[in-house]
């Protein structure tokens, strides 16, 4: 089973998640994660453990903040993961790019508001990966045109992984579908 982990202020029903659903069909789930990092990780750990306890192979695909979560979880559970323009320093990035007032953020999918404050940002430190146990378990896809995250930071941290850097693009990763076969092959190898 593949679990797709969406990015910050997004949802499991976003455009990228839908593209993955169309390609992988019943092999993937795209849950909408809680906005509180500790709850998102707890939810994902429960899902992963439920599948593993049933002897179901689990793989992860994470985009942006979902990539940060996927890195942590794949490292913890020895899973394969695909990281798409992953956040590697979200405590800094989310703090520096705070374009929201009164600790409220607008969800990109449904335009709802949710609270995201400094304690949430600080809690992300609990999931920082200092050492990647098996770099071969990771396929990292970066686009240089990412306007939200510095692709060079991700490239540096994830240089030992199966790293692909593409010119242009943006944070949402333009034309991700051209990598679906590569993702499928990687996750099933």
80, β-bridge pairs:
59
Q: So what's the pLDDT on residue 159? A: 97
Q: Report the percent of the chain where pLDDT is more than 70.
A: 95
| Residue for token pair 């439920």 | 50
| Contact (CB, 8 A) for 141 and 61 | no
pLDDT score for 97: 58
- pTM value? 0.93
Q: At what angle do helices 15-24 and 180-187 cross, to 10 degrees?
A: 60
CA proximity to 105, closest of 47, 163, 65, 75:
65
pLDDT of residue 101: 55
Contacts of 186 (CB under 8 A, 6+ apart): 80, 82, 139, 162
Res 21 pLDDT > 70: yes
Report the pLDDT value the prediction gives residue 98, as an integer from 0 to 100: 56
> Considering only CA atoms, which of 179, 97, 107, 184 is closest in space to residue 146?
97
Would you identify the CATH topology of the domain 2-187? Rossmann fold (3.40.50)
pLDDT at 61 over 60: yes
Block residue for tokens 């790293």: 163
Token pair 């795209």 in the structure block, residue? 30
The mean pLDDT value for 105-133 works out to 85
pLDDT in tens, 126-159: 999 999 999 999 999 999 999 999 999 999 999 9
For the cut 60, the answer to whether the pLDDT of residue 99 exceeds it is no
- Residue 134 to residue 78: CA distance in whole angstroms: 8
**Banded pLDDT at 40 (limits 50, 70, 90):** very high
């Amino acid at each position: 089973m593949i679990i797709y982990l969406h990015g910050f202020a997004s949802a499991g029903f976003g455009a990228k998640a839908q593209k993955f659903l169309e390609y992988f069909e019943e092999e993937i789930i795209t849950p909408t994660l809680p906005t509180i990092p500790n709850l998102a990780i707890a939810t994902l750990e429960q899902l992963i453990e439920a599948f593993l306890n049933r002897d179901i192979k689990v793989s992860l695909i994470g985009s942006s903040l979902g990539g940060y979560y996927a890195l942590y979880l794949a490292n913890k559970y020895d899973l394969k993961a695909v990281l798409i323009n992953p956040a590697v320093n979200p405590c800094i990035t989310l703090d520096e790019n705070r374009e929201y007032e009164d600790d409220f953020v607008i969800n990109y999918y449904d335009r709802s508001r949710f609270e995201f404050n400094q304690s949430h940002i600080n809690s992300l430190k609990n999931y920082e990966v200092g050492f990647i146990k098996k770099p071969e378990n990771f396929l990292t896809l970066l686009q240089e045109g990412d306007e939200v995250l510095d692709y060079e930071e991700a490239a540096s941290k994830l240089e030992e992984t199966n790293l692909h850097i593409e010119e242009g693009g943006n944070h949402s990763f333009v034309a991700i579908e051209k990598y679906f076969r590569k993702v499928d092959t990687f996750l099933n190898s």
